[in-house]
Amino acid sequence: MPNLTNPVAPQELLVVGAALQTGIFDILKQGSCSLEELAKKLDFDLRALWTVNESLVSLGYLQFNSDKYSLTSEAEEILFNEQSDKYVGYSLIHTFNVIKAWTTIPEVLKTGAPLERVRDQQDIKGFMAAMKKSAKETSDDIITICLRDLPIGSKVLDLGGGPLNYARPFAAAGAEVTVQDKPEVCEVMEKNLLENERIKFVPGDFTEEVIEGQFDLAFLGNICHIYGPEGNTLLFKRVHKVLKPNGRIAILDFVRGVSKRAELFAVNMLVNTQTGGTWTLQQYTDWLKQAGFDDIQMHDIAGRQIILARVIT
Ligand SMILES: C[S@@+](CC[C@H](N)C(=O)[O-])C[C@H]1O[C@@H](n2cnc3c(N)ncnc32)[C@H](O)[C@@H]1O
- State ipTM: 0.99
What is the CB neighbour count within 10 angstroms for residue 271? Answer: 21
Q: Is any atom of ligand 1 closer than 6 Å to the C-beta of 162? A: yes
Q: Best of 182, 206, 273 to mutate for ligand 1, by most ligand atoms within 8 A of CB?
A: 182
Residue 221 CA, ligand 1 centroid: distance in Å? 8
Between 8-12, 166-170, 202-206, the lowest mean confidence (pLDDT) is in 8-12
Q: Is any atom of ligand 1 closer than 6 Å to the C-beta of 207? A: yes
Residue with CA closest to ligand 1 atom 15: 160
Residue 49 CA, ligand 1 centroid: distance in Å? 35
For the chain, domain boundaries: 10-101, 133-311
H/E element, 256: strand 255-256
201-206-209 Cα angle (round to 5): 100
- Measure Cα distances from 168 to 67, 176, 302 in Å: 45, 10, 20
* Residue scoring higher pLDDT (196 or 199): 199
Give the per-residue pLDDT at 117: 83
Residue with CA closest to ligand 1 atom 18: 205
H/E element, 202: strand 199-203
Structural fold of domain 133-311: Rossmann fold (3.40.50)
Binned at pLDDT 50, 70 and 90, residue 9 comes out as low
Q: Is any atom of ligand 1 closer than 6 Å to the C-beta of 90? A: no
Binned at pLDDT 50, 70 and 90, residue 10 comes out as confident
Q: Is any atom of ligand 1 closer than 6 Å to the C-beta of 221? A: yes
Residue with CA closest to ligand 1 atom 14: 160
pLDDT in tens, 28-77: 999 999 999 999 999 999 999 999 999 999 999 999 999 999 999 999 99
Q: Is the pLDDT of residue 6 over 70?
A: no
CATH number belonging to domain 10-101: 1.10.10.10
Residue 229 CA, ligand 1 centroid: distance in Å? 17
185-188 long-range contacts, Cβ below 8 Å, gap at least 24? 185/124, 185/128, 186/162, 188/121, 188/124, 188/125, 188/128, 188/162
Q: Is any atom of ligand 1 closer than 6 Å to the C-beta of 181? A: yes
Nearest Cα neighbor of 117 from 272, 13, 275 is 272
